Structure formats: structure tokens, C-alpha cells
Structure 1
């Protein structure tokens, strides 16, 4: 897939310097010599092409009052997968709910303000889904690793060797 130089510059700016502004696409356009509508159209096209999955903030959980989180793996009978996944997805404290091809075939993250809230929510999910405790792996966060991934898209800005 070929990405034109304008899209490269836009992608680099969105990745590195997304503006915190009521009209971020206007600000991006001003910086890149584009109209606001052109910025939005280009980004929409990049999403349709699969270049961009989505644009979202990366939040610091602790600053939002989230003090406890865990990764849960469940062994869910195939015939109940949609039903159990729907229950799990119904919780605001759940993210990244996805299916895997494994014995433990439903994985999701769960976050809460405290260990007690986290345990209560997990107990409620177990109760509502009827998944036995022995079919639930609770893999709490022991240490958080922050990985800052950057894709170097503009040769002029970062050099060819990067």
C-alpha cells in the first residue's frame, strides 16, 4: 500500500502531537496546510483502508481513580460464548474483551477503584455467567510496563535510517 506524503505527514502529526483542542482537525490542518474537512476525509479514508484502527487517547489509570486492574481468562463452553461475552461486555469496568482459540477462550481486562471493587465485580460476573471459579484465571497486574511505540513515517523529519 502506498501512502502519499500528505497522509504520512498527517499520520506522523496525529501520532506525535494530536492537539487537545475543541477543533483538533482544524489545528492539524493549519499545521499541515490543509483544510479541516480534508484532514477529516483523509483520516476517514485511512481508517477504511485499514491503516488506522482508531484514534483514541492513552489514559493513565491512576489519574482517573483506577487503582486495581486484572486480566481475566475464562473457559467458556462454545455454545455459550456470545451470551457470556455479552454479559462481560456490559460492564463499564471491562475493556479488551476478546475471544481466543485456546482452552481459556474469553479474555478481558477488568479495572476498579479498589481491590475490593475489583473482586466484587469479578464475583458478580462469575455469578451472572455461571462460569465456575475453576474455569476463571485471574491474572492481576503486578508491574505495569509502558511501551511507547512510534512509527517513523516522514523521512525528512526523522531521516532515512530510522
Structure 2
């Protein structure tokens, strides 16, 4: 069964969720009031959008340097296909890792590490490689040199409506 999506109110919600959330006890109510709907309708629509896979989650975007994390890197690993899940679990168990994803590529696991300094980055990467039994030659370490962009937003306009299947 398909349900209509997105209507102009759904699109307005998607636009609003990309902005700074109000720091109040009931942020959904504050956004709902701005959009001219009730808090209950706002929550119901968000749940429907989540159920449809349009919204995957709502989370903060943290500025790591303000938290004392001055070094970051993107790592690509070549791993045997039969060990991919096991090694992904090892990577994801490290609190310094913020993203861990699979690619259809020779380097099939990619992840980011943030730490206080380069020595911290190298220690985490060495720990991951040791625990996974992966030689350093199967890792690409691509350190952040300069942050170019972090704030990506999509503008949703009412003319882009369609059905969810």
C-alpha cells in the first residue's frame, strides 16, 4: 500500500528540521506552531516520514574542534568479504569512530576517526588494524587537511510530491 507523500506540510517539516531546533522543553510544539499545525500532527507526520525512510534520524551536528578533537581522518580498508561484518563491528566499537560504512570497492570499509591530535588518530587506527588482523598496507589513511563544508541542507518545494510505495 502506498501513502501520499510529501505534501506541502511534510516538505515544510523537512525544511524546518534542517534548521537549529529550538532549545525549549517541547521543540516539536515550537516548530508545529511556526508551521500552523498541532504538536500531535507534527509528531505523527515525523513518524510517518521515518516509517517511509525519508527521515532516518534526528541528531546534533557537533563541532569537534570545540570539544578538543583537533585531528580527524577518513580511513579506507581493504577487507576480505567474509570478514566484513566482523571487522565493521571492531571499527564501530571504537568511540573515536563517528561513521563506518561499506562501499562496493576494493576498499570496502570506510570510516572516520576524530581525536585530540595526530598521535591519537594513529593509536586508534593501529588498534583497529591489530584487532582486525589487517596489515597497514591494506589501509588508506586520508587525514583532514582543511574542512571545506559541513552544513548541507536541502530545499524542499511543494511541486516535488509523489507516492511512497
TM-score interval, smaller chain? 0.7 to 0.9
Deviation string 1:95-140 (CA, Å, 9 cap, x unpaired) is 2211111111111001111211111111111111110011111110
Q: 1:43 to 1:140 in 2, by over 3 A?
A: same
Aligned match of 1:32: 35
Q: Which has the higher helix share?
A: 1
* RMSD across aligned positions (CA): 1.7
Aligned match of 2:130: 127
Shift of 1:17: 4.4
Structure 1 spans left out of the alignment, 5+ residues: 156-162
Aligned match of 2:79: 76
TM-score by length of 2: 0.85
CA distance in 1, matches of 2:40, 2:74: 40
Structure 2 spans left out of the alignment, 5+ residues: 159-165
Aligned match of 1:94: 97
Q: 1:42 aligns with which of 40, 45, 49?
A: 45
CA distance in 2, matches of 1:21, 1:64: 23
Q: 1:64 to 1:133 in 2, by over 3 A?
A: same
Q: 1:57 aligns with which of 55, 60, 63?
A: 60
TM-score by length of 1: 0.86
Count of aligned pairs: 155
